[in-house]
Amino acid sequence: MPPLDPTLFGDIDPPQRLLMGPGPVNAHPRVLRAMAADLLGQFDPEMTGFMNQVMALYRPVFGTQNQWTMLIDGTARAAIEASLVSLVEPGETVLVVNFGRFGLLLTEILARIGAKIETVSAPWGEVVPLDAIAEAIESFGPKVVASVHGDTSTTMAQPLEGLGALCRAAGAYLYVDACATLGGMEIAADRWGVDIVTGGLQKCLGGPSGSAPITISDRAAERIFARRHVEQGIRRADIVDGAGPRIPSNYFDLAMIMDYWSEKRLNHHTEATSMLYAARECARVALGEGLEARFARHRKAGAAMTAGARALGLVVYGDDAHRMTNVTGVYIPAGIDGEAVRTMMRENFEIEIGTAFGALQGKIWRLGAMGYNAMKHKVLLTLGALETCLKAQGFSLPLGEAVPAALAAWEVA
């Protein structure tokens, strides 16, 4: 046997890290096993059967009865862009509810589409009051209102109850990015009156990044199909173009993607089979646990992480009343090298915690506990390791207090 060519590198053998940052997190073993299943042709009846199962499985995850509940091939951002480019026409007014980095991402994508962007904002670490959003809707008359549900950059979760009713009364569509909360906090697309909700697998659903669940209301689907323009090479007599302006992206054209997921099986793209298997198993794991039990587990993990951090003498970032259950921000103590602590955590304990973005870069750590990692022992291991690393960096803290505080918080949350 010839020697191994050194330019081929070696087998992939990553360290067994515990990912306790804002995502991605460790995938559930069942999801990893599902991804190893054999590939199928995209129109094999077994494959299209799996696609239909995915649609059925994600309806309760999104809290919806929407027919158009499916996957977008790509990371969570792919579904965000597909939603906005398919729903918003150039020149239309879009109101963005902005309270963190990912609200700013919505404005970035909308600017590239050519939308007229208005914002209603809150300082980072807070959320936008519903009455402020109502005033902005009345002032700007948007065609679409776009909001993040949980923004991991600030660890805040925007309340959405009542927002859909405001939008419908104003004749606007409502889009919500729930990447960071889907499967960990309640998403009630129908009750909230949201027209499009998108998510990702790599956070509370406990899967890998690369497939983005989406649900689309009939009302939004009608608007999207009015912009349907099937590409020339796959035109068919049974699929009629809409009268509206063509969606300016081919890959992110929701009208064609929806026809691909429908009984029409339009050959728009080749479904990412292994990622579909992963998404299917993520939903099966979530529903098998029970959504209410899953939300409670995330709530307990978040409460334990927050209590443990405070017991270490750390100051927790942001508004307690609107904190995401799955990510906790804590200020890096004065005089402590935040990156040195993260390096020690990784090198000595194989635990990763998160840094921050923009105005918060170098100021806070983000401690995540979600999906397969929203477990009592993983929270306790993280807090114990953080205590050791902080002490090694010269931070004066009450030793041995964090774990008991976290245990107590877990029991009462």
Burial 355-392 (b: 16+ CB within 10 A, else e): bbbeebeeebbbbbbbbbbbebebbbbbbbbbbebbee
- In this structure, is residue 1 part of a structural domain? no
Number of domains into which the chain is organized: 2
Residues 211 and 85 in one domain: yes
- In this structure, is residue 20 part of a structural domain? no
**393 vs 382: CA distance, rounded Å:** 16
Q: Provide the pLDDT for residue 5.
A: 74
Per residue in 53-90, pLDDT tens?
Answer: 999 999 999 999 999 999 999 999 999 999 999 999 99
Report the DSSP beta bridge partners of residue 331: 364
Residues 98 and 243 in one domain: yes
Residues 380 and 259 in one domain: no
Higher pLDDT: 48 or 9? It is: 48
Residue 9 above 90 pLDDT? no
What's the CATH number where 370 sits? Answer: 3.90.1150.10
Mean pLDDT of the chain, nearest integer = 97
Any idea what DSSP says for residue 212? E
**Whole-model pTM?**
0.96
Average pLDDT over residues 151-170: 98
Residues 73 and 192 in one domain: yes
Higher pLDDT: 1 or 86? It is: 86
Any idea what DSSP says for residue 399? T
User: Sorting pLDDT into bands at 50, 70 and 90, what band is 1?
Assistant: low
Residues 269 and 295 in one domain: no
Burial 115-134 (b: 16+ CB within 10 A, else e): bbbbbbbbebbbbbebeebb
Chosen domain end from 257, 286, 315: 286
Rg (CA), the chain: 22
Residue type at position 28: H
DSSP E strand boundaries for 82-229: 93-98, 116-121, 144-148, 150-151, 156-157, 173-177, 196-198, 211-216
- In this structure, is residue 228 part of a structural domain? yes
What's the CATH number where 196 sits? Answer: 3.40.640.10
Share of the chain above pLDDT 90, in %: 96
CA end-to-end span of the chain, whole Å?
A: 60
Residues 228 and 372 in one domain: no
**117 vs 111: CA distance, rounded Å:** 7
Per residue in 252-294, pLDDT tens?
Answer: 999 999 999 999 999 999 999 999 999 999 999 999 999 999 9
Chosen domain end from 252, 286, 320: 286
Q: Provide the pLDDT for residue 6.
A: 72
Q: Provide the pLDDT for residue 356.
A: 95
- In this structure, is residue 362 part of a structural domain? yes
Q: Provide the pLDDT for residue 42.
A: 93
- In this structure, is residue 5 part of a structural domain? no
- In this structure, is residue 2 part of a structural domain? no
- Residue 304 neighbours by CB under 8 Å, 6+ apart: 369, 376, 379, 380, 406, 407, 409, 410, 413
User: Sorting pLDDT into bands at 50, 70 and 90, what band is 7?
Assistant: confident
Q: Which two tokens stand for residue 269?
A: 């793209």
Per residue in 370-409, pLDDT tens?
Answer: 999 999 999 999 999 999 999 999 999 999 999 999 999 9
Average pLDDT over residues 312-316: 98
Residues 275 and 354 in one domain: no
Residues 272 and 303 in one domain: no
Chosen domain end from 253, 286, 319: 286
Q: Which two tokens stand for residue 330?
A: 């804590």
Q: Provide the pLDDT for residue 10.
A: 85
Residue 364 above 70 pLDDT? yes
Listing DSSP states for 217-243 in one string gives -HHHHHHHHTT----GGG--TTSPPPS
Q: Which two tokens stand for residue 407?
A: 């245990």
Tell the residue number behind the tokens 């070696």, with chain if given.
10
- In this structure, is residue 24 part of a structural domain? no
- Residue 62 neighbours by CB under 8 Å, 6+ apart: 69, 182, 187, 189, 197, 199, 213, 215
Average pLDDT over residues 142-148: 98
Residues 277 and 354 in one domain: no
Q: Provide the pLDDT for residue 37.
A: 98
Residues 252 and 106 in one domain: yes
Average pLDDT over residues 190-209: 98
With 0-12 / 13-18 / 19 or more C-beta atoms within 10 angstroms meaning exposed / middle / buried, residue 248 is middle
- In this structure, is residue 195 part of a structural domain? yes
Residues 282 and 317 in one domain: no
Residues 227 and 368 in one domain: no
Residue 4 above 90 pLDDT? no
Any idea what DSSP says for residue 317? P
Q: Provide the pLDDT for residue 43.
A: 94
Q: Which domain holds residue 46?
A: 29-286
